Structure 1
Amino acid sequence: MGAGVFLSHRLVSLHIDSCFLRFCDDEGMLLPVEIIDRGLKALACGCPNLRRLVVVGASEFGLLSVAEECLTLQEFELHKCGDNVLRGIAACENLQILKLVGNVEGFYNSTVSDIGLTILAQGCKRLVKLELSGCEGSFDGIKAIGQCCQMLEELTFSDHRMDDGWLAALSYCENLKTLRFVSCKKIDPSPGPDEYLGSCLALERLHLQKCQLRDKKGVRALFRVCEAVRELVFQDCWGLDDDIFRFADVFRRAKFLSLEGCSLVTTEGLESVILSWTDLQSLTVVSCKNIKDGEVSPALSTLFSVLKELKWRPDTKSLLASSLAGTGMGKRGGKFFKKM
């Protein structure tokens, strides 16, 4: 066997061999749609009990053959998909987990808009988890998802291209429990008045990873929509400074906070928010260089002492974790203190 070669670009990784090179399309990137469709038809006929499928570059007709034969299909990951292609996905009525990858900059470009999201919503009403990566859309598309997919519990946006004002549609996802943003250059620059935003009352978790959080209007609006959350995670988010982080004081029911790689948040900024969270039980602070041991106030130290879990390593020079050992701080309810 020859050495395996992979072509990787952010969200996509493809195995490249002699067959791939022989059947590549004119751009030298992906197999022609006709070949993929034929393969899907053969796969569907031979594997009617298929539960999970990953496809790159299929057409509506190829996906329809899967929907017609694989009635128990539950999980689908579709790359290089457009609005028309989603007609095939919408025919998978028992689908529960779906990831759509529309645009991957520098690799391929396809468009998922409100039209495709509405088609999807009307067909896949049993969705529990949905990830939209590189997809466009607006208020109308997300509203359709919320109204039709009433079992939806987890929604992820990766590198989204949503139009201004889309955030207000999240409140239509009435049973949403987890909301994630990954590698998003924006949240919503023009979210509109607070009275139109609504709130996701069932939401428990808000995770933001590698996102641009410099826009105050968008971040403030997102936090207001998600004010019911109990778990809040920020990981390697650019622009998250004290002014932006202070909008998090709306999370009065928060029990868990994790800050990792957020170098602009200071000790004062952290304290100004979490001291008002009376239900906080777990705190993680890792690789946040402007949060200092020497700036921890008595009030913050008191909070540390009643937490069930504390992971404190804001920088490589932090000594607080070791100095707390044996003091009982961070151990309410048992052995929960952890040194990173």
Structure 2
Amino acid sequence: MKGSDLINSKLPDELLFDIIQRFDGSKSDCDAISLVCKKWMRIEAIPARRNHQDHSGCQPLSSTERIRRSYPPPAAVIPRLSPKKRRAHSSEHHQVNENSESESELESFCLSDAGLSSLAIGCKDLEKLSLIWCSNITSLGLKSIAESCRFLRSLDMQGSYIGDQGLTAVGQCCKQLEDLNLRFCEGLTDQGVVEFAQVCGKALKSLGIAACAWITDKSLIAVAAHCTFLETLSLDSEFFRNEGIVSIAKSCRSLKALKLQCINVTDEALQVVGSLCSSLELLALFSFQRFTDRSLLAIGKGCKKLRDLTLSDCYFLSDKSLEAVASGCTKLTHLEINGCHNIGTWGLESIGKSCSGLLELALLYCQRIGNSALFEVGKNCSLLQALHLVDCSNINDEAICAVAQGCRNLRKLHIRRCYEIGDKGLIKVGENCKFLTDLSLRFVDRVGDDALVSIGQGCSLRYLHVSGCHLVTDIGLTAIARGSPELTYLDISVLQGIGDMSLAELGEGCPMLKDIVLSHCRQITDTGLSHLVKGCAQLETCHMVYCPSITSAGVATVVSGCANIKKVLIEKWKVSQRTRRRASSIISYLCMEL
């Protein structure tokens, strides 16, 4: 009818955005769309700004990819904020972003209840839905999904402000739901979880709850009563106490994975878990300051199937805990000890002697663990594939040599700030660990060219991180470039001995390189970048801030020479107007005023 708008007034923005995305992206189509009205022109322009793969037109994205990109999860841990404060925090974030203008336009395309309703109508067979940090979604939108998508099996609502009514609707309609994530869902209370458990508990196998101030032991008691087939439980809250955990342990005998960060849980709860949850395979305990070795003694005695154990900031655990685990849980394959300052050499020796099937070992901030612990690992754990060491001041080259000689299946070795480890240990790794593909040596001051030459001759790496290893020069990196043709990631930041020769060797020997970090490399110039770009056609990201010999010409070379480039991190003043016009969407600025 003349004078009426039957499209803009009826269709939500996200649905109109979806329709426009389905055009083939030809220039004539884009021009025609832009001429309809200002709203259509603004919507049509969004894909062009966001397209990182084809700068000449609009490349359609899948529905799930559009939803994911429209509201990405934050890179850092999000503080617990009220909805009003969270939106204010989000607004402040957009204001400081260098692309704040386009981000503010994209903000209107964040998934809302209207968009979720449209999704529900068109995808009735939906089985998996992720609404991570979708703060515009309410119970109304979730209810539309529940009523239409009755085959839903997995629902992730992390960071979404969903109320009890929405969760209850999911329970009433989605009887096959197996996986539910409620982390940071601050609008939920015990009422919603209890009602959900009562009507949909039989199918639930996995549940995650974190930072929900109104969810307490009452919810866990209801889950225990109705979700008897629960296999995975992850809890992070100060509002849970022993009663809820004990109820779960008594009723959910099929429990296989338990992750707890609950400062008010004590030995009583873990002892019940140890005595009743014989099927437990994974246990992760974070920041426990109210329980002692008695908990791990019970776990070691009752959980014979335990394979994966993480102990982080558990200050009152000692070597007795590891000895109990070692004697009772001989099938252990993954062990992480992080900041448990009372655990020392003796405890890890017990693990090395008893757990011959160990595949991954992580020792983070373990100042009391010494060489003899890794001697036992090297002697008995021949299947070890991954070793992580961070700030372990009592571990030196002798321990690394023992691991290298005994664990020849090693595929991943990450060492950070272990100042007693140097070339000697890494040379043995190169000579013995032929399957090594992932090597990270961050700020390991004593590692130099001899180590990398040995690694380059003996291993074909795919991932290498040697940031802060000041003794590494072009000689070591050349050996890596010639011996690792499948290298895809490289970080050589803060290395003053690296120059253009290394980049030329990388360009010639590593055609699969996708990500490179060159920041703070003072000897690298535009010439080196041109050699790198010539051979590494698959390059996607390049970080090169604080490289004084790189100019705007070098930046232009990277942008124009790499068809797949998605991100270039550089100082703003080094980007010419022409480069900015051509590739503004892929350029990021670390320091805008330099």
TM over 0.5: yes
Aligned to 2:392: 213
Letter in 2 for 1:51: E
Q: 1:70: Cα distance to partner?
A: 2.0
Letter in 2 for 1:76: L
The structure-2 alpha-carbon separation of the partners of 1:269 and 1:262, relative to structure 1 and needing over 3 Å to count, comes to farther
Distance 2:451 2:374 in 1: 27
Aligned to 2:255: 73
Letter in 2 for 1:78: L
Please, which runs of 5 or more residues in structure 1 have no aligned partner? 6-12, 21-28, 104-108
Post-superposition CA distance 1:125-162 (Å, at most 9, x none): 22222211122444442233233223322111121221
Post-superposition CA distance 1:273-295 (Å, at most 9, x none): 536x734544513423515444x
1:288 corresponds to which of 468, 480, 501? 468
- Secondary structure of the corresponding residue to residue 250 of structure 2: helix
1:142 corresponds to which of 300, 310, 322? 322
Aligned to 2:228: 48
Letter in 2 for 1:117: L
1:100 aligns with 2:288: no
Aligned to 1:64: 246
Distance 1:308 1:213 in 2: 32
Is the Cα–Cα contact under 8 Å of residues 371 and 399 in structure 2 kept in the other structure?
A: no
The structure-2 alpha-carbon separation of the partners of 1:336 and 1:271, relative to structure 1 and needing over 3 Å to count, comes to same
Letter in 2 for 1:133: S
Q: 1:205: Cα distance to partner?
A: 1.1
Q: 1:177: Cα distance to partner?
A: 0.7
The structure-2 alpha-carbon separation of the partners of 1:245 and 1:144, relative to structure 1 and needing over 3 Å to count, comes to farther
Distance 1:337 1:2 in 2: 42
Q: 1:16: Cα distance to partner?
A: 6.7
Aligned to 1:86: 270
Q: 1:318: Cα distance to partner?
A: 5.0
Post-superposition CA distance 1:234-271 (Å, at most 9, x none): 26x22436x54533444322522422532624433534
Distance 2:506 2:450 in 1: 25
Higher strand share: 1
Distance 2:368 2:450 in 1: 22
Aligned to 1:154: 334
2:218 corresponds to which of 38, 51, 55? 38
1:306 aligns with 2:483: yes
Distance 1:15 1:264 in 2: 44
Distance 2:307 2:375 in 1: 28
The structure-2 alpha-carbon separation of the partners of 1:270 and 1:190, relative to structure 1 and needing over 3 Å to count, comes to closer
Aligned to 1:174: 356
- Secondary structure of the corresponding residue to residue 150 of structure 1: coil
The structure-2 alpha-carbon separation of the partners of 1:306 and 1:244, relative to structure 1 and needing over 3 Å to count, comes to closer
Aligned to 2:158: none
Write the mapping of 1:255-274 to structure 2, written as runs, cut at 5 A: 255-262=436-443, 264-268=445-449, 270-271=451-452, 274=455
The structure-2 alpha-carbon separation of the partners of 1:86 and 1:195, relative to structure 1 and needing over 3 Å to count, comes to closer
Is the Cα–Cα contact under 8 Å of residues 265 and 288 in structure 1 kept in the other structure?
A: no
Distance 2:423 2:325 in 1: 29
1:234 aligns with 2:411: no
Q: 1:74: Cα distance to partner?
A: 2.3
Aligned to 1:106: none
Aligned to 1:23: none
1:122 aligns with 2:308: no
The structure-2 alpha-carbon separation of the partners of 1:326 and 1:42, relative to structure 1 and needing over 3 Å to count, comes to closer
Letter in 2 for 1:169: S
Distance 1:73 1:195 in 2: 32
The structure-2 alpha-carbon separation of the partners of 1:287 and 1:48, relative to structure 1 and needing over 3 Å to count, comes to same
Is the Cα–Cα contact under 8 Å of residues 38 and 62 in structure 1 kept in the other structure?
A: yes
Is the Cα–Cα contact under 8 Å of residues 102 and 111 in structure 1 kept in the other structure?
A: no
Q: 1:66: Cα distance to partner?
A: 0.9
Q: 1:206: Cα distance to partner?
A: 0.8
The structure-2 alpha-carbon separation of the partners of 1:250 and 1:75, relative to structure 1 and needing over 3 Å to count, comes to same
Over the residues paired in the alignment, what is the CA RMSD in angstroms? Answer: 3.9
Post-superposition CA distance 1:278-323 (Å, at most 9, x none): 34544513423515444x16xx745532324334441267545541
The structure-2 alpha-carbon separation of the partners of 1:93 and 1:201, relative to structure 1 and needing over 3 Å to count, comes to same
Is the Cα–Cα contact under 8 Å of residues 296 and 325 in structure 2 kept in the other structure?
A: yes
For normalisation by structure 1, the TM-score amounts to 0.71
State the structure with more CA Rg. 2
Distance 1:312 1:48 in 2: 47
Distance 1:192 1:302 in 2: 32
Q: RCO greater where, 1 or 2, for CA within 8 Å and sep 6 or more? A: 1
Is the Cα–Cα contact under 8 Å of residues 478 and 502 in structure 2 kept in the other structure?
A: no
Please, which runs of 5 or more residues in structure 2 have no aligned partner? 1-81, 87-182, 191-210, 517-594
Q: 1:190: Cα distance to partner?
A: 7.7
The structure-2 alpha-carbon separation of the partners of 1:283 and 1:30, relative to structure 1 and needing over 3 Å to count, comes to closer
Post-superposition CA distance 1:53-74 (Å, at most 9, x none): 2234544443232123223322
What percentage of residue pairs aligned between the two structures are identical? 18
Higher helix share: 2
Post-superposition CA distance 1:173-219 (Å, at most 9, x none): 1211111234x1525148479689843222111123xx2133246x7
